[in-house]
């Protein structure tokens, strides 16, 4: 009987931990979208570039990743188009 109680408690703790982990990671993914874009030029070396499509809470953006972090950039800016072309020319 005692073993059964310990097993049920362990299972309950595992379920709570799993639900907290799932909620936390889902929230982080939601926060990672760009809700606004910057127009200032990124001058750091670029590690990666990706496009974010517009959705209910996210704006259309080019996400430029550098060693300092990720920057949400306006895809209509000339300097962004130039950086994207340069990046893919070098990395293709």
Q: Using an 8 Å Cβ cutoff, are 53 and 38 in contact? A: no
Residue closest to 49 by CA, chosen among 28, 32, 72: 72
- Looking at residue 58, its pLDDT comes to 93
pLDDT of residue 28: 35
Report the alpha-carbon distance of residue 25 to residue 48 in Å, rounded.
22
What is the predicted pLDDT for the residue at 12? Answer: 54
Contact at 8 Å (CB) between 47 and 66?
Answer: yes
pLDDT along the chain (92 residues), means of 10: 70 52 39 85 94 91 93 94 92 83
pLDDT at 27: 32
Predicted confidence at residue 24, as pLDDT, reads: 39
């Amino acid at each position: 009987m005692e073993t059964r109680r310990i097993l049920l408690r362990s299972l309950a703790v595992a379920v709570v931990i799993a639900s907290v982990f799932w909620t936390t990671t889902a929230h982080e993914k939601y926060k990672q979208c760009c809700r606004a874009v910057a127009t200032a030029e990124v001058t750091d070396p670029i590690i990666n570039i990706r496009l974010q499509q517009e959705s209910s809470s996210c704006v259309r953006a080019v996400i430029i990743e550098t060693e300092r972090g990720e920057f949400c950039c306006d895809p209509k800016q000339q300097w962004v188009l130039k950086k994207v072309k340069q990046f893919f020319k070098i990395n293709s």
